Amino acid sequence: MQTDSSFTFVLFGGTGDLSMRKILPALFEAHRAGGMLADSGKIVAVARHAADRDGYIEWVNEHVKPHVSKKGVDETAWASFLQRIEYVKLDLGKPEDFVLLRDAVSQHPGIRVFYLATGPSLFVPICRALASVGLNENARIVLEKPLGYDLKSSNAINDAVGEIFAEEQIYRIDHYLGKEPVQNLLALRFGNALFEPLWRREWVESIQITIAEELGVEARGDFYDNTGALRDMVQNHLLQLLSIVAMEPPHSMDSDSVRDEKLRVLRALKPIDPSEISKVAVRGQYHAGVIRGNSVPAYATEPGVKPDSTTETFVAVKVEIENWRWAGVPFFLRTGKRLADRVAEIVVNFRPVPHSALGASALRGGANRLVIRLQPNETIRLYCLAKQPGEGMNLASVHLDLAFDQFFREGQMEAYQRLLLDVIHGRLALFVRRDEQEAAWRWVEPILNEWAASNKPPKPYASGTWGPAAASAMLAQHDTCWLEEEN
């Protein structure tokens, strides 16, 4: 992908964890690949901690360099990448600092991208300060999650930002939408005649979407204890993945066509009656346990967490879509911390054959399934039944693999790299539109409200397991189970 589009990428929160681990490494990979970033493109880091550019470059060398590609660092490419970086020390409480930022940005031609890798409480003050010096004109603004605490606060942020930036200037990022297998899910469905006829209620029995983490809250106890897994993962990542899986074929891959179809799915989610929430939603909280042979503490003893916290670190929920394609098909969403493995995957369980002359094994659920794994290794695997070698007609499960790292010689593009390039080139399809976000908040709010009003604590589960038993019991009611297999 060649480009001559000049740009200035302004990174607020330039010394933050996200900048260190994801954003700057992704920009370096695009730089190293050659041709993805215009030679004239500049990165302007904004922070309060480093005194000057030399101090910031020292921080980048110490903290960012270890997070770049597993292939190692090309020192020549790294040195030339550092030449792109400028630095502005900025205090939000000092309007004159934004004048300095304007002067720094105005020296460079091309489009302007403002990436807010900060807490959501700073989104509106930063946007207003940018507008006060005219930096909102012909610019693009990137907002990280979480965008609000509930529907009301999300609308408040969107209203305030929307007064300064037009909707087509706003890029609400969800990095799961940039992952290669998610892109391949679209290719699989809409580029092949094989799967699309089967992608409906007549042939699909159930669908699971899991994002599981081995890590706990780490150093984010203060943030996480006021957020929880439902807000942190379900409202955005999981519902976005669900909308990609369930959407109708768009007439083209332009941004509004794709997002229109995702919105139709989110608006078709069956509302959950508050009296039914305990039957279709499970919340849990991890207790002490063992992860890969190491003892780990309970959530309530993590730094920054209140000892009597009722914040959920695990959520499993059953979702139904009230439309012609998916009526009656349960979608099971699951996410949690301190689980048995780090994995993100989509599992499409097809219905068994209506009658088997080959024995009961051909009638069991899950014999035919498609597993789209997003992490840690990105693959698509199709399971089916085949005859075992030898005498008799004994069936066994076999699978066909598409392992991207083995099939394609060129390296895969990381999610943040793809999304940052899309921002620079003005492609909105993989970013969340405001009406999508509102529909997702509207669906999860009854669960949030019921849990807030309930005196029942989250169900405990030991670290290193797959969560509360109630999550498995919920699937057992539908004669199925979670797919839990080794990587």
H or E element at residue 54: helix 53-59
The rounded distance, in Å, linking the Cα atoms of 231 and 451 is 12
Say what angle helices 24-33 and 75-82 make with each other, to 10 degrees.
120
The rounded distance, in Å, linking the Cα atoms of 300 and 285 is 9
Closest to 95 (Cα-Cα) out of 127, 129, 124: 129
Six-digit token string for 293: 């042979």
Contact 415/403 with Cβ under 8 angstroms? no
Contact 387/394 with Cβ under 8 angstroms? yes
Interior angle at CA 399, CA 414 and CA 177, nearest 5: 25
The rounded distance, in Å, linking the Cα atoms of 348 and 337 is 23
* Residues acting as catalytic residues: 237
The rounded distance, in Å, linking the Cα atoms of 342 and 97 is 42
How is residue 16 annotated by DSSP?
S
Residue 267 dihedral angles phi and psi, to the nearest 5°:
-75, -20
Q: Is 254 helix (H, G, I), strand (E, B) or coil?
A: coil
The rounded distance, in Å, linking the Cα atoms of 30 and 421 is 8
The rounded distance, in Å, linking the Cα atoms of 418 and 89 is 28
User: CA dist 384 to 202, 378, 449, Å?
Assistant: 18, 20, 42
Cross-sheet strand order for the sheet of 343-350: 395-403, 379-387, 369-375, 343-350, 204-212, 331-336, 314-319, 281-287, 459-462
The rounded distance, in Å, linking the Cα atoms of 397 and 384 is 6
Interior angle at CA 124, CA 437 and CA 117, nearest 5: 75
The rounded distance, in Å, linking the Cα atoms of 349 and 279 is 22
